[in-house]
Amino acid sequence: MARLLPLLVCCLFFQSHALMDNELIGNPEIKCNADTIEMQFRTKRIFTGKVYVKGHYNSPDCRVDYSHTNVEGVPTRGIQLHHGSCDMDRQRTIRPEGMRFSTVLVISFHPLFVTKMDRAFSINCLYHEASQTVTSNMEVSTLPTEVLHSDMPLPECTYTIRKDEIDGPLLKFANVGDQVVHRWECNSDVYGLLVHSCYVDDGQGNKHIVIDDMGCHTDSVLGDPTYVNALNMAYREGSAFKLADQVIVRFQCSIRLCLKTDGGCNDVTPPICEPRNASALAARRRRSAKKGPTLDTDLISQTMTVLDIEVGSPKFPPPERLQATSQRVCLSSAFFSVLVAFVAFLFIFITSSALYFYSRSGRFVKKLDVQKFAPRSPGFD
């Protein structure tokens, strides 16, 4: 048994090395199907890991496990997701006009751990809206008609969350209670915007409405946006917050665009949110029915990590210090595997040697005892 233990350790070591030696061949292939999104990829060796949607590893419908399969040949693996499943983002776009579905897929080579060979891919599928023009020729007179086309370019709109002030840096890490500024902006002097239908998302499917479809807040944690005179930007100062027991925070809002020429944005933006009573809401809806043509699109903010501050504890160090500290103490997965295998082999070797010498010493002592108490032959006295 003692001789088999080192062999077992060596087998485990080579198996771990084989896992670490695997990698992707080229880039994954993305297929945007009518109802699904599909990703396929090839690996250097047989793939025995997992493919899953980031943030939904524990959901069986969002994960494909290849650790129990036994398929020969060069592996081709993948995952297929239905539109809207696994908290997939659904976003209306205006440049180009259509619907965008996006998610983050992780290819994990180790069956249990996240290693440096793992890859994460942001998948985006844009489905353009098909438009069809129907014409009918009718001759009324011989008067020639010249058709002039003039397309107003649609603006590019963004939703960002800034630190401390409206022109502050983009926020990625924050503590609960930090000063933040929500900023919605379109790079156009021709269009005005209305922010509406906003909710906060923790990436796990939990959502909470903070601004309703009329552009007014439903929760005082955010409040009503403030609009600039040009109506092409809105902002809201507030404090960083998050959902309970979650650290990932992201916001999604709908933006309604209107042409400011000829009063096209009148009674569209800015919204009338006070006083919040039934008569005011009814009057606002009647005025909104008279508005000019509008166009809606969806905006998603950057993802933030919001940390709790424990009572009585000092303020968390800035993200730069956290990242620098993690880099100093991190070990590569390959080095860690070799270190664990070496320690295990050393432990087994020392244990086996101790048992071996202990058994030999026991035999030697027993032999001495036998010689000591053995009867002496006559003639030696």
Per DSSP, the three-state class of 37 is strand
CA dihedral 79, 80, 86, 91 (to 10 degrees): 120
Write the pLDDT tens digit of every residue in 49-91. 888 888 888 888 888 888 765 555 444 578 888 888 888 888 8
Residues 256 and 295 sit within 8 Å (Cβ to Cβ): yes
Write the pLDDT tens digit of every residue in 275-291. 655 455 555 554 444 55
Instruction: Kindly indicate whether the domain formed by 21-127 is annotated with CATH number 2.40.50.
Output: no
Structure-block tokens of residue 66 = 């290849």
Distance (Å) of CA 322 to CA 23, 175, 304, 326: 29, 14, 15, 6
Q: Give residue 16's pLDDT band: very low, low, confident or very high (50, 70, 90).
A: very low
CB neighbours of 293 closer than 8 A, spacing ≥ 6?
A: 258, 259, 264
Q: Give residue 135's pLDDT band: very low, low, confident or very high (50, 70, 90).
A: very low
Q: Above pLDDT 90, what percent of the chain?
A: 18
pTM of the predicted model as reported, rounded to 2 decimal places: 0.60
The structural domains of the chain, with segments of one domain joined by +, span 21-127, 157-271+291-307
Is residue 117 pLDDT above 90, yes or no? Answer: no
CATH class, range 157-271+291-307:
mainly beta
Are the folds of 21-127 and 157-271+291-307 the same? Answer: yes
